[in-house]
Amino acid sequence: MEEVTDEPLYRDRVCGIDIGKAGLVATIRVPSEKDPARRAAETRSFGTTRREVLALADWLRCWQVPAVVMEATGDYWKGPFYRLEAEGLECVLADAKQAKNLPGRPKRDPADSRWLAACFERGAVTGCFVATPEFGIIRLHTRYRRDLTEERTREKQRAETLLESAAIKVSSVLTGLHGVTGRDITGPPDRRGAQPQGAGPAGPPPGPP
């Protein structure tokens, strides 16, 4: 353990985690065993698999560290965050924009976990919103529906552009190209000239004049 002279202002025992795709770096800051007025810090590297995250949780419990802070980096934070939370640890997700503007951020990535832990113990890190599992499912489906709607709109615009480039001015005589009439005109040949819905049966063909 490396002892430092910084004095905590907000939390006594903390852990800062810098998360990557295949691994994470964790730094704990606890009171020094020799002098409680001093701080002891230790940094270790772990993987992001379930077994490695459980090993991280065991290491934190050995040092009686109850709280963990990590930066919201893409989707990499979700696995370790929810696993550590399930292990009974208090997990705080730091907003990337807010953490970026905190003073003293190091230029080297390996030192990010130490810097996060130091900021967290002083109360400089504010946790951002993390959805509950129920709310997360609703948000996931809502975003997926929005993406599908946007994709449908792009395909409609692509079809109109294709017809315009072929000098087929269907959209100039129809209110909506993708309405019932528009689909009958631009649809496959077997639908063209089909009997409209609700129309009665066709009568006999006219006789000779």
- Facing residues of 41 across strands? 2, 29
Q: Which of 77, 72, 70, 69 is nearest to 21 (CA)?
A: 77
Is residue 65 exposed (0-12), middle (13-18) or buried (19+ Cβ within 10 Å)?
buried
Residue 37's pLDDT is what?
76
- Domain of residue 61, residue span: 2-121
> How far is the first Cα of the chain from the last one, in angstroms, to the nearest whole number?
107
Angle between helices 78-86 and 50-62 (to 10 degrees): 50
CA distances from 113 to 15, 87, 120 (A): 8, 20, 10
Regions in the chain scoring below 50 on pLDDT = 8, 199
Residue 34 lies in a domain: yes
Residue 208 lies in a domain: no
Residue 69's pLDDT is what?
93
Q: What is the pLDDT of residues 149-168, one digit of tens each?
A: 999 999 988 888 888 888 87
Q: Name the strands in the sheet holding 39-47, side by side, starting at the edge strand that comes first in the sequence.
A: 2-4, 39-47, 23-31, 14-19, 67-71, 90-94
Total number of domains constituting the chain: 2
On whether both 6 and 109 belong to a single domain, the answer is yes
On whether both 26 and 56 belong to a single domain, the answer is yes
Residue 146 lies in a domain: yes
The model's pTM is 0.65
Q: For 168, list phi and psi in degrees, rounded to 5.
A: -100, 105
On whether both 63 and 27 belong to a single domain, the answer is yes
On whether both 141 and 97 belong to a single domain, the answer is no
CA distance 170 to 168: 6
- The type of residue at 53 is V
Residue 205 lies in a domain: no
CATH code for the domain in which residue 6 is found: 3.30.420.10
On whether both 112 and 13 belong to a single domain, the answer is yes
Residue 8's pLDDT is what?
46
On whether both 49 and 138 belong to a single domain, the answer is no
On whether both 101 and 141 belong to a single domain, the answer is no
